[in-house]
Structure 1
Amino acid sequence: MSDIDESPVLPPDVSDAEKRAAVTEAAARAGARVANDAFRTDMPVEEKGADDVVTEADRAAQRTVIERIRESFPEDTVVGEEEDAHKRVPDEGAAWVIDPIDGTHNFVREIRFWGTAVAAVIDGEPVAAATVAPALGD
């Protein structure tokens, strides 16, 4: 992944759905870039449940995704996999759902099958989603 700024540049007359789709992809790419920089490096792995793990790469990628979303949609709810807060997508209003490293078990085992997933949701229905798998060349 490149070091260029991947913020979407959109014309002023773009619809809300188009803007959310562009931000979804840009946020997923930004988070994936952060995670990929940590891929196959030595980092501590923490257990966060009976069959779930988390790394600092998960947290850093999620922070990056949230920052990118907040640039365009500062008031929207964010539901992130690595947050300790309530993880429920609201039935009303705009929300974002983030899994910064979908496939953390593969990630920590240095297996390339993982990705950063981001979805935009309006009133409980998905309106845009993106998954970026940088270790596979995406």
Structure 2
Amino acid sequence: MTLDNDDLIKIRQIVEEVVTVKISESEVRMEAKLTTRFDEKLTESEARLTISFDQKLNDLETQLTSTFDQKLADLETRLTSSFDKKLAEQTFVFAKALAETEKRLEEKIEINKAIIMGVRAEFDGVYEAIRDLTVYFEKKIDVLEKSA
């Protein structure tokens, strides 16, 4: 049995359709997998950041309340000019603690951004591999057509 040009064209179309469907299915599965992984990582990161932030905020609130109450009692008993100095010192300490907390949160955000970039790069690599496979199969089809 010999294949004429129409048969070869039909075979090529069928192969292209199968390759396209397989590549599309693979892309969909990979995208779903990456999206799920990204969502899980993002949810975990959000949970950790929220817990850490809430703990720091509660600690800071406790520290602020305790220190403020102590300073207020001192002020009531002494009523001296040291009030301004102590208040300025405590304000500085609180501002510094808040800045450190904010810095740690920003660092965690940068880590999350790096994770996201890694997932994005991984997806790009898969996409390029699929594209390379497509080129490979097209070359194979061309070779088969030329040899037939």
Is the pair's TM-score, using the shorter chain for normalization, greater than 0.5?
Answer: no
Q: If each structure's strand is expressed as a fraction of its own residues, which one has the higher value?
A: 1
* TM-score normalised by L of structure 1: 0.31
Higher helix proportion: 2
Largest Rg, 1 or 2? 2
More relative contact order in 1 or in 2 (CA 8 Å, sep 6+)? 2
TM-score after normalising by structure 2: 0.30
